C-alpha cells in the first residue's frame, strides 16, 4: 500500500458521511482516484434505483480525490453531473482523473459505473474544479 | 396541508436515502420546493463542515422537487453546483424554483443556505434540468 | 460616466471578437454587469434564431464582467448554461451579478433576455466561476 | 464524402454565425463530430488569446453536431465548459462524442484543442445535453 493510498484511506475514514455511506477507496495515484460503494436499500430512492444524491456524492468525492492526488488537501469548488440512466446493481464505482492542474486548482472528470451480475454500465459523468485548501 | 404537499411528503418518506439523512419537506407549491436537513456529525467531512455530497444531494433533491411540482413524477437529468463557502450551522435549507418549464422538462435553480445561531448564509447555488418520468 | 464604466467600455473595445459581434456595455457597477447585442442575421443559426454560441458568448462575457467588477482584470474559469427557449427579437441583454466573491474568485449568475417588439423573455441562464488574472 | 458529412456541411453553411466565424466541419460520423476554426485576430480578446466566447461557441456547436449525428436535427439544451488554459495557436479543433443517447436526447463531451507551430494542447473541456428538434 503506497503512502498516498494510505493517506487517502485515512481521509476517507475521517469523513463521517463517507463512513455512513460505506465508501471505499480502490485506486489513489497521482492524477487518478477510484471510489466505490456497495449498493444497499438505504441508498435508494422511491423507484428502487440508487438515489441521484448518492451518485453525485460519489462523483463529487472522487473528483476531490483526483484533484487532491496532485494538489494535496483539497475541496470541490464546483462540478456538473449528467445522469445517463437509472443506477441499479450491486456496486457503484466512480473513476476520476485530472485533466489539467495548476498550483492551486485542477479540472477533473469522473465516470460513475454501476456494476451488477449482468455486467456494468456508466450511469453518470461529471466534470468539475478542485481547489487546494490554503494552509 | 395541501394535496401537493402531502404527495411530496409521501415521496420523501419513500426515499430510503432521504430517510437515512433526515430530509424534511418544508415548502412544496407549484414552481417551488424547500427541503431542509438538520446538521449532525454523521453528515460531515474531515474538517468538521457538512460534506459537499450532502449539500449536492440536498440541492439535487430540491431541484427535482421544484421540477416535479409542475411536471409530476420526475428525475434530475443534470445539474451543476458551485460551493460558495464551508457549510457550518444547525440546519441546511435548500430553496429551489422553476425558471422555465415545458411539457417534459423544467430548468430550475436552487440556493442552499446554512442556518446557525449567528444567522444564515448561502453555501451553494445549483442549476439543472428536471425531466418528467414517462409512464 | 463612472471610472469603472469607462474602464469596462475600454476593455470591450479592445476585444476584437466583441467588436465583431457589436457588444455594448450597458451597466457596470460593483457586483453587476449588463451587456447587450443587437440581433442581426449574421448572428443566427439555420432556423433563423440567434445562434446558441452567440448567447453563450454573451453570457460568458457578462459573467466575466460581473466578476471583474469586484476582482479587477479577470477571466471565466468555467460556466454552465441552460438554454430555455429559442432566441428571437431585436436585442439580447445579458444581466450578470456576483453571488459570492473572495480575493481571487467570484461565483456569478447571468440571465440572457431577448427583447423584441412584443416584449421580452429570458432565453438562457448561466452560472460560473470568474478568476482574477494574476499580475 | 458520406451523406451524413454532406448533410452536416450544408447545415454549417446555413448557419450565418458559423460562416462569420469560418467554422469548418472536419469529421461527422455517427457519434462523433470535429469542428475547426482558423484563429485570426477578429476572434481574440484583449490579451491576444482567442476569446472564451469563441471557444464556447465551438464547443457548443461540436456538441450539437455530435448529438445530431445520432438524433437528427438537434439543439443544445445545456452545457458546461471548463477553460483549462489560454488559447493561442493557428487553429482550434473541437472534438465531440456521444456518451449516451436515447430517442430524444444525447449526453456528449467535447475537448477543444489549440494547434500551433509548437504542437497542440487542450484548452477547454465541455459536457452537455443535446435534444432532438420535434418535427
What are the Cα distances from residue C124, in Å, to B8, B107, C49, C79, C83? 29, 10, 13, 13, 4
List chain C residues with CB under 8 Å of A80: 80
For residue B134, what pLDDT is reported? 81
Per-residue pLDDT at B88 exceeds 80: yes
C-alpha distance from A89 to closest chain B C-alpha (Å): 16
Q: What is the mean pLDDT of chain A?
A: 96
Selected for mutation to probe chain B from D75, D76, D77, D78 (highest B CB count within 10 Å) is D78
- Give the pLDDT band of residue B1 (cuts 50, 70, 90): confident
Q: Do D82 and A122 touch (CB under 8 A)?
A: no
Give per-residue burial for B104-131: e unless 16+ CB within 10 Å, then b: ebbbbbbbbbbeeeeeeebbbbbbbbbb
| Bridge partners, residue D114, by sequence | D92, D121
Mean pLDDT over each residue of chain D, to the nearest integer:
96
d(CA D79, CA C56) in angstroms, rounded, equals 10
| C114: β partners | C92, C121
Distance from CA of A56 to the nearest CA of B (A): 7
pLDDT by residue (tens digit) across D77-134? 999 999 999 999 999 999 999 999 999 999 999 999 999 999 999 999 999 999 999 8
Question: DSSP string spanning A2-52?
Answer: -HHHHHHHHHHHT-HHHHHHT-EEEEEETTEEEEEEE--GGGB-TTSSBPH
Residues of chain D in contact with residue A107, where contact means CB-CB under 8 angstroms, are 82, 84, 125
Nearest-CA residue of chain A relative to C77?
A129
Query: For C106, which residue in chain A has the nearest alpha carbon?
Result: A77
Please tell me whether residue D57 adopts helix, strand or coil conformation: helix
Chain D: closest CA distance from residue C112 (Å):
14
- pLDDT tens digits along C10-65: 999 999 999 999 999 999 999 999 999 999 999 999 999 999 999 999 999 999 99
> What's the CA gap between A99 and D60, in Å, rounded?
19
**A129, A132, A133, A134: best mutation site toward chain C, by most C Cβ within 10 Å?**
A129
To the nearest whole Å, the CA of C51 is away from the closest chain D CA by 7
- Pick the closest to residue C64 from C88, C28, C39, C118 (CA basis): C28
Domain count, chain C: 1
- Which three three-digit cell numbers place residue B44? 460531515
- What is the rounded distance in angstroms from the CA atom of residue D72 to the CA atom of residue C81? 22
Which chain A residues contact residue D113 at CB under 8 A? none
Indicate the pLDDT class of residue D32, thresholds 50, 70 and 90: very high
Q: Is D41 exposed, middle or buried (0-12, 13-18, 19+ CB in 10 A)?
A: exposed
Q: Which chains touch B (3 or more CB pairs under 8 A)?
A: A, C, D
Chain A residues with CB inside 8 Å of B22's CB? none
Nearest to A62 by CA among A88, A91, A27, A103: A27
Q: How confident is the model at residue A75 (pLDDT cuts 50, 70, 90)?
A: very high
Q: If you average pLDDT over every residue of chain B, what do you get?
A: 96
* Position A1 pLDDT exceeds 80: no
B83 has pLDDT over 80: yes
User: What's the mean pLDDT when you consider all of chain C?
Assistant: 96
At what angle are helices C3-13 and C52-71 packed, to 10 degrees?
A: 140
Instruction: Average the pLDDT over A46-55 and give the result.
Output: 96
Helix (H) or strand (E) holding C57: helix C52-71
Contact B85 C100 (CB under 8 A): yes
Residue from the list B44, B52, B78 with its beta carbon closest to the beta carbon of A80: B78
Summarize the confidence of residues D5-25 as an average pLDDT.
97
| Dihedral, CA of residue A16, residue A112, residue D58 and residue A103, to nearest 10 | 40
Q: Residue C88: helix, strand or coil by DSSP? A: coil
Mean pLDDT, rounded, for D25-47: 97
Query: Is the pLDDT confidence value at D135 over 90?
Result: no
Using alpha carbons, select from A131, A133, A124 the residue that is nearest to residue A58. A124
Query: By C-alpha distance, which of A45, A60, A49, A36 is closest to A89?
Result: A49
Q: Do B125 and C99 touch (CB under 8 A)?
A: yes
> Which grid coordinates are listed for B98?
422553476
CATH number at residue C88: 3.10.129.10
Domain with C122, as residue range(s), is 3-132
Provide, as residue numbers in chain D, all residues whose Cβ is less than 8 Å from the Cβ of B80.
80
For residue D82, give the nearest of D47, D120, D128 by alpha carbon.
D128
CA pair distance D127, B99, nearest whole angstrom: 21
The partner residue sitting opposite C80, judged by closest CB among A80, A105, A107, is A80
- Are the Cβ atoms of B99 and C80 closer than 8 angstroms? no
Interface residues of chain A, partner chain D, Cβ below 8 Å? 80, 82, 84-85, 99-100, 107, 109, 122, 125, 127-129
A17, A19, A20, A25 alpha-carbon torsion, rounded to 10°: 90
Helix orientation angle between A52-71 and A3-13, rounded to the nearest 10 degrees: 140
Chain C residues with CB-CB distance to A under 8 A?
A: 77-78, 80, 105, 107, 129
Residue given cell 457549510 in the structure block: B87
CA distances from B33 to B4, B68, D28 (A): 11, 9, 42
Nearest CA in chain D to B80: D80
Q: What are phi and psi of C52, to 5 degrees?
A: -55, -35
pLDDT of residue C1: 77
Query: Which residues does chain B have within 8 Å of residue D109's beta carbon, measured at their own beta carbons?
Result: none
ipTM, two decimals, is 0.96
Amino acid at each position: 500500500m503506497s503512502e498516498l493510498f494510505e493517506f487517502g484511506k485515512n481521509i476517507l475514514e475521517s469523513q463521517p458521511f463517507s463512513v455512513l455511506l460505506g465508501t471505499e477507496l480502490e485506486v489513489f495515484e497521482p492524477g487518478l482516484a477510484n471510489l466505490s460503494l456497495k449498493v444497499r436499500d438505504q441508498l435508494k430512492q422511491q423507484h428502487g434505483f440508487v438515489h441521484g444524491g448518492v451518485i453525485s456524492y460519489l462523483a463529487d468525492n472522487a473528483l476531490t480525490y483526483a484533484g487532491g492526488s496532485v494538489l494535496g488537501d483539497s475541496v470541490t469548488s464546483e462540478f456538473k453531473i449528467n445522469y445517463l440512466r437509472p443506477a441499479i446493481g450491486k456496486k457503484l464505482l466512480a473513476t476520476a482523473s485530472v485533466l489539467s492542474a495548476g498550483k492551486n486548482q485542477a479540472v477533473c472528470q469522473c465516470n460513475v459505473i454501476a456494476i451488477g451480475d449482468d455486467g456494468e454500465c456508466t450511469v453518470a459523468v461529471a466534470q468539475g474544479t478542485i481547489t487546494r485548501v490554503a494552509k
